[in-house]
Amino acid sequence: MLVVVAGIGLYLFQPWKAFTDTTVNESLPTASAPEVKDGPQKKDNAGVKDGEPSMTSTKPKDLAEGRFVTHEHDTSGTARTVRLADGGQVLRLEDLKTSEGPDVRVYLSTRAADAAKAGLDDGAVALGKLKGNLGNQNYTVPAGTDLPKFRSVVIWCERFSVSFGAADLAPVTG
């Protein structure tokens, strides 16, 4: 009986994660978007006609950003929402430092970071499992997500229903 209880305790709490780290260092995704040239139909020196799409690299655009605050576990770093040239949106976590834990996930929340400590809201959007507790990582924001309505990013432990930390998202101007 003691072995069964110990096995369940190990499964639920995964205490070894208090002594391990997983570092992730992803680059910000890049994409090319078609650029249509206006004007009369003539070929340039590269053989591309005006009016035909040509692939050009466009810089991603920062939409919002914020710094993490600690809730149940020391958490620091920056969260950024970014629109890619192809129109896709990603959440980027930079210089993230938090604890590992069982079933830790990343959410967008309509609550402010301080309020997220008490729980996720019904409208929270799950972006996936936390890839690592240290480093830089990207999460695809589902198509059709209205990013301006989300006020924070939350690192949330599903198993224990606690926030490790959260970051308020402030619109980037300029």
Do residues 42 and 49 touch, judged by C-beta distance below 8 A?
yes
Do residues 141 and 29 touch, judged by C-beta distance below 8 A?
no
Q: Closest by alpha carbon to 19, among 99, 122, 82?
A: 99
Say whether pTM exceeds 0.95. no
pLDDT(169) > 70: yes
Question: What pLDDT is recorded for position 30?
Answer: 81
Tens of pLDDT, residues 97-150: 999 998 999 999 999 999 999 999 999 999 999 999 999 999 999 999 999 999
Do residues 66 and 170 touch, judged by C-beta distance below 8 A?
yes
Do residues 157 and 73 touch, judged by C-beta distance below 8 A?
no
